[in-house]
Amino acid sequence: MTDSFAPALGAANRTLVAAVMVKAGKCGFKDITPAFASLMPHLDPTGAGMRAQELARRLGVTKQAMSQLIREVQSRGYIEQVADPSDTRAKLIQLTKRGIALHEACHQMLSSINEVALRALGPTRVRRLQKDLVELAKALATITEQ
């Protein structure tokens, strides 16, 4: 049996989140947390908005955890909740102007990370890594479905 890949995968994720945090801090966003860095790429900067339940599903967290994160991010002025025009009982999470600026900073950092990966591994290996990680995520999801 080979050594576990999980520590390397965890280290890569922590490094990715740390890089986004550093970039955001340099852009003036000093009040964010690693949870913010994980949430921001999933929010739509076009203003369409998304329901909290969908965000929770995308991030793999409970609805309760997502509600708490939404309250924290909203209290810092990055998002707002607006009525869903298709269902007045539901709310959509939308980025504010400040949130759009943070989203852009996070997006720039993720682009930089992709460039580093391409230089380090080359395009073929990066595409393979992406494909392998997607397959792994699907396979690991079966554990939580049992």
Q: What CATH number should be reported for the domain holding residue 132?
A: 1.10.10.10
pLDDT at 2: 60
Specify the residue for token string 């949430």: 39
Residue 1 within any structural domain of the chain: no
Q: Which domain holds residue 92?
A: 6-141
Signed CA dihedral, 144, 131, 102, 91: sign only? negative
- Rounded mean pLDDT, 117-139: 94
% of the chain surpassing 90 pLDDT: 42
Greatest Cα pair distance, the chain, in angstroms, is 54
Residue 146 within any structural domain of the chain: no
If one counts the domains in the chain, the total is 1
**One-letter identity of residue 18:** A
Helix, strand or coil, per DSSP, at residue 123: helix
Beta bridge partners of 50: 93
Question: What does the pLDDT look like over 33-83, one tens digit per residue?
Answer: 888 878 888 888 887 889 999 999 888 899 999 999 999 999 999 999 999
User: Which pTM does this prediction carry?
Assistant: 0.78
